[in-house]
Amino acid sequence: MRKQIAAANWKMNLTLQQAEQLTHELLASKRNLGANQLVVFGVPFPYLLPIKNTLQGNGNMYVAAQNCSDKKSGAYTGETSAEMLKSIGLKYVIIGHSERREYFNEDNATLAVKVDLALANDLQPIFCCGEPLSVREAETQNSYVEKQLNESLFHLSADQARYFVVAYEPIWAIGTGRTASSDQAQEMHAHIRSVFASKYGEDVANTISILYGGSVKAANAKEIFGQPDVDGGLVGGASLVADEFASIINSLK
């Protein structure tokens, strides 16, 4: 059975004190995690170790970095390498979030390098893909997303492909209050899985968790997560509210 994942992306929010309080509130909330269900916290770099330590002993709960450098090491002031993330015991790293693509000009080739460095350091990438509104309106979203996958991931072997998570982000639905319908989410997730199947075969495609990342809330999580090819969510604003995110976690299949 594919892993069902509730992943929080805190982005550039919260002080350390607020982050620790949020984590404690979430741990105190009622959660029902099954063996195939995971919670991943994508937290700002300064909080990686404190939050990781806070989660110690809570099974199926992990911390992820929100990014890593496309350089192995060297004179790159302000950057954080995949090797550094490995050295503090992380398991996950978010790669290719739409904000990194848009604001920091990260292209598919750069993201391919990041994916390679993550895998070389035993980090499981949560690879983000998705289309802007103009592409959705032109009804070319399938080919747009397929190009992102092809140029960033499909140089990998089938064995490597089993080690990452994909997060589909309809960019037009991030922070806008607009949400893709559950049918729209399922349609794209099914397409993404079919693209992986064409490249690596059905067996590999059916092991890859594909998350939905577009304004997921407690009110819509159960319907979206209930779709057959939706394996959870990459959650932004709603993950900053303990009760809201706890409800989202409990909506996992």
Q: Judge residue 246's burial from the number of C-beta atoms within 10 Å of its C-beta, 0-12 exposed, 13-18 middle, 19 or more buried.
A: buried
State both tokens at 71: 């350089």
Task: Name the catalytic one among 99, 106, 131, 169.
Answer: 169
Task: Name the catalytic one among 97, 131, 189, 244.
Answer: 97
- Rounded to whole angstroms, the Cα distance separating 17 from 47 reads 10
State both tokens at 38: 């995971």
169 is catalytic: yes
Q: Which residues are catalytic?
A: 97, 169
